């Protein structure tokens, strides 16, 4: 079992997400999952944006990747994370 924080937003919510992640502590005991409506043909820079705003690393996970606390996992464009 994992402790998760799950956030969804439209493309207009990126500024709000950036503000939210800047205040998350380095020792956050949960993983953060983020899904934003981004078209399939677009390359997402959201992991770079969010990772640069706070202390937690942000990444676009690979299928089957281990979930770890203190990380921000960003869904790939036009995909769900579960």
Domain residues of the chain, as ranges?
4-74
Q: What is the pTM of this model?
A: 0.90
Please report the pLDDT score of residue 16 as a whole number: 93
Closest CA to 77 of 38, 46, 47: 38
Please report the pLDDT score of residue 53 as a whole number: 93
pLDDT profile of the chain (82 residues), mean per 10: 88 90 95 89 90 95 91 88 68
Please report the pLDDT score of residue 12 as a whole number: 85
Please report the pLDDT score of residue 79 as a whole number: 78
């Amino acid at each position: 079992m994992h402790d998760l924080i799950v956030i969804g937003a439209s493309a207009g919510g990126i500024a709000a997400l950036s503000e939210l992640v800047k205040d998350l502590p380095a020792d956050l005991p949960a993983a953060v999952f983020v899904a934003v409506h981004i078209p399939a043909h677009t390359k997402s820079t959201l992991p770079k944006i969010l990772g640069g705003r706070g202390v937690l690393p942000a990444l676009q996970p690979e299928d089957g990747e281990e979930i770890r606390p203190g990380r921000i996992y960003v869904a790939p464009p036009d995909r769900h994370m579960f």
